[in-house]
Structure 1
Amino acid sequence: MTPGRFGDARRRRIGLLGGSFNPAHEGHRHVARRAMQALRLDEIWLMVSPGNPLKPVQGMAPLPERLASARRIADGRRIIATDIEARLGTRYTADTLAALRRRFRRARFAFVIGADNMVQLPRWKQWRAIARTVALGVLPRPGWTRRALAGRAAHVLAHHRRVPGGVLTESFAPHAAWCLVPAREHAASATAIRRAQAERSTGERRGP
């Protein structure tokens, strides 16, 4: 069921996996499945961003194209691709999370990020408020996992680290928990996929 912008009153444990999905790939599906199992989620939303403030516009496919690629790796039941940020009119994660909490009052959210984003988290708007109010599930990424665990965000949030199955159990804790999700590092990369597509396109134009 695709989430509507006006929300609903169902009681669920929902993972939010945001990103450009430019394009979506098997690594995203791997992350979604592992996060759902480890965090004991009812469903996970692939939130296709209308535009990441930290990423260049050049080379970014149109939103409908990226959403379509996310839907191809989703199942529409527990892994759900959505453009809800565009429909809410939010661009920054802090604003999106606040809007979702207002509209889905009985849902419990966990924000799922890669280790690369854990490293970059201190650059995000209101990052401490994000970490304080929503559980974080951090997925290993090649070349980033050790940096994430030794980085500023992990240091600041060290006292709030929990085992994966426990990040959503402390309903009234003064600070949300975070965890490193046990998963193998998946090598799939949207950048590599785009590069390969460009090389194939160039080869086709040149001909034999």
Structure 2
Amino acid sequence: MPELREAIPLHTEGMRIGLLGGSFNPPHQAHRDISLFAMKRLGLDRVWWLVTPGNPLKSDAPHSLEKRMEAARDLARHPRIDVSCLESVIGTRYTVDTIAFLKRRCAAVRFVWIMGADNLAQFHRWKGWRTIAADVPIAVIDRPPENLGALCSPAAQALAQHRIAERDAPRLLAMTPPAWVFLTGMKSPLSSTARRNPDGSWKT
């Protein structure tokens, strides 16, 4: 298991870093596309892929962390995308705890949480989702056909007054949360679920 200093990617004071969490079971092109899209639209310096030990909202057991980490690194292939197993090192299971740790450990970094519209649709089921929204700005990337359902979801409605116009996306990381933006223009229907066979193995 990597040590903590190895699990936290290199960073410097004032960096603008996007956090993309998930089981990456398996990682797929949309993960990379979302990362590059967010870099461009939000003016990010880097994106960290936080490969989780497991998703509390999913019953299917993921492949080993080592296999998913290796596959994520093979897919990322970008000097500004870092793949990390931070949660397994610090022992957090929920995003709210991971974000709290990063805000303490990397206090001089500006973080933004990146999620697809499919995750916004179920965000209200995440442990401490209101705390997450109060801790870091959030960028939601459109993921057809989830857009309408996501924007009508309980979390989106509860946070509606804190949504900023898409044209203001470059200012998001300078804002005091709660603040979020819905970014359109990246049309990718790929998902990890669609990339798995019924027995849980990855499709080739």
Q: What TM-score bracket applies, with the shorter chain setting the length?
A: 0.7 to 0.9
Give the structure 1 partner of residue 32 of structure 2: 29
What root-mean-square deviation, in Å, do the aligned CA atoms of Structure 1 and Structure 2 show? 2.4
Residues 24, 70 of structure 1: 8 Å contact kept: yes
> Is the CA contact (8 Å cut-off) linking 1:167 and 1:176 kept in structure 2?
no
Task: Give the letter for the 1:50 counterpart.
Answer: P
Structure 1 segments of 4 or more deviating over 4 A? 5-9, 196-201
Residues paired across the two proteins, number: 196
2:116 is aligned with what amino acid?
G
Q: TM-score, normalized by length of structure 1?
A: 0.86
Alpha-carbon distance, 1:194 to partner:
1.9
**Paired-residue identity, %:** 40
Secondary structure of the corresponding residue to residue 187 of structure 1: coil
User: Are 2:74 and 1:75 equivalent residues in the alignment?
Assistant: no
Alignment-derived partner of residue 128 in structure 1: 130
Q: Which residue of 1 aligns with 2:186?
A: 184
1:200, distance to aligned residue in structure 2 (A): 7.4
- Out of 31, 37, 42, which is 1:39 matched to? 42
Query: Which of 142, 158, 166 matches 2:171?
Result: 166
Query: Residue 34 of structure 1 contacts residue 181 of structure 1 at CA under 8 Å; is this kept in 2?
Result: no
Unaligned residue ranges in structure 2 (runs of 5+): none
> TM-score with structure 2 length normalisation?
0.87
Task: State how far apart, in whole Å, the 1-side matches of 2:130 and 2:203 are.
Answer: 43
- Report the Cα offset of residue 10 of structure 1: 2.9
- 102, 107, 112: which one aligns with 2:109: 107
Please identify the structure whose Cα radius of gyration is greater. Answer: 1
The alpha-carbon deviation at position 158 of structure 1 amounts to 1.1
Q: Deviations over 1:94-137 (max 9, x none)?
A: 00000001111100100001111111111111111111110100
Stretches of structure 1 lacking an aligned partner (at least 5 in a row): 202-208
SS of aligned partner of 2:74: helix
CA distance in 1: counterparts of 2:202 and 2:33, whole angstroms:
26
Aligned residues of 2:112 and 2:136 also touching (Cα < 8 A) = yes
5 Å-filtered alignment, 1:14-25, equals 14-25=17-28
1:154 counterpart letter in structure 2? A
Which residue of structure 1 lines up, in the alignment, with residue 64 of structure 2?
62
